Amino acid sequence: MTDKLRLLLYNDGSDVSNQALALGKHIAQAAAHAVDILLIAATGDQERVSSQQIEETAGELRASGISVTVYQRAGFTGRRLLEQTEAKDYDLIVVGSRGRRGLTRLLAGSRACAILGSATTSVLVVKGRDLRQISNILICTAAGPASAKTVRFAAQLAHALEASVTLLHVMSQVALEHKAQGSDLEAEAEQLMERQAREGRHLEDMLRVLHEESVEAQALVRHGLVVDEILAEAKDGDFDMIVTGAHTTPDLPGLLSSDLSQQIMLAANRPILIVHQA
């Protein structure tokens, strides 16, 4: 990466947060210059186990030349996590999730808005099977200008991790341009790019962004409901991580422009990186 990242790794002593700590270490070794680890354990036993794992992780990161600071906090998990994210300018926060219930317990209500909706911080929610590295990334892109930051951040991370990349666009079921051909709604990526359709031009632009970051990728189009198709592709392609932007699609009408990134995050059974757009 051109600029190394500052990461915050959160641990509460649970199995899923230990899983997130391990994956966060892998990412940090490839892409970070500084790492903060925040421990908020609910019990003494969790604190003892986590402290040992955190010290081992910190030692490995320091041996890789990465600056590491460990914070131990008591009190309400959400509040302490939020305070830490506001204290420093992090590029990426890594947290674990047991699934929908676990995630909503960790990042409920205003905490979700403050962290996942942050204008300055991207969040990696680690869930699903236990992964210790990221080798295969699915980048989801919408046909709008905000996607460029999502793709560039993901490309830099993919380059650092030496991961393969697939660029996915789910075609809207309604035409977003008056001049769009009805056949575009069923076309494949190559056809859309050849026709210079709106979505085809967008895919070419995003492939160019990836190329600028020394990442070669294949473009893929699926047709149907956005969340369903992204989850289906993630499963079919056995991707290690899904990447999406923390934004709605401005061209879609109100009922269609709900927070798709949050829906994907809640439903996915694998790590999902939500890139914020400021």
- CATH classification at residue 109: 3.40.50.620
Same domain, 204 and 239: yes
Same domain, 181 and 252: yes
Looking at 94, 126, 158, the residue that finishes a domain is 126
Structural domain contains residue 83: yes
pLDDT at 264 over 80: yes
The two three-digit tokens of residue 53, written as one number: 């794992």
* Residue from 159, 130, 128, 141 nearest 277 by CA: 141
Beta pairing, strands 164-171 & 5-11: unpaired
Residue 245 or 278, more confident? 245
- Model confidence at 237, pLDDT cuts 50, 70, 90, reads very high
Same domain, 88 and 111: yes
Same domain, 119 and 140: no
What's the CA gap between 137 and 62, in Å, rounded? Answer: 27
SS3 6: strand
pLDDT at 270 over 90: yes
Q: What is each CA distance from 95 to 20, 83, 115, 253, 274, in whole angstroms?
A: 6, 15, 11, 32, 12
pTM higher than the cut 0.75 = yes
Same domain, 178 and 267: yes
Same domain, 30 and 95: yes
Domain that holds residue 213: 136-275
pLDDT at 108 over 50: no
Same domain, 121 and 217: no
Q: Which DSSP helix (H) or strand (E) runs through 21?
A: helix 15-31
pLDDT at 74: 76
Looking at 108, 126, 144, the residue that finishes a domain is 126
> What is the edge-to-edge ordering of all strands in the sheet holding 32-39?
67-72, 32-39, 5-11, 92-96, 122-126, 272-275, 241-245, 136-140, 164-171, 217-223
Looking at 126, 148, 167, the residue that finishes a domain is 126
Structural domain contains residue 131: no
Residue 251 or 242, more confident? 242
DSSP code of residue 274: E
Same domain, 21 and 98: yes
Cα end-to-end span (Å), the chain: 19
Mean pLDDT of 217-241: 94
Mean pLDDT of 126-154: 89
Structural domain contains residue 233: yes
Same domain, 25 and 152: no
Mean pLDDT of 222-244: 94
pLDDT at 52: 86
Q: Which DSSP helix (H) or strand (E) runs through 106?
A: helix 100-106
* Residue from 91, 85, 42, 33 nearest 62 by CA: 33
In the chain, the number of structural domains is 2
Q: What percent of the chain has pLDDT over 90?
A: 47
pLDDT at 176: 47
Same domain, 87 and 14: yes
- Model confidence at 265, pLDDT cuts 50, 70, 90, reads confident
pLDDT at 9 over 90: yes
pLDDT at 258: 43
Backbone angles phi, psi at 173, to 5 degrees: -85, 0
pLDDT at 97: 79
What's the CA gap between 58 and 56, in Å, rounded? Answer: 5
Same domain, 9 and 45: yes
Same domain, 104 and 217: no
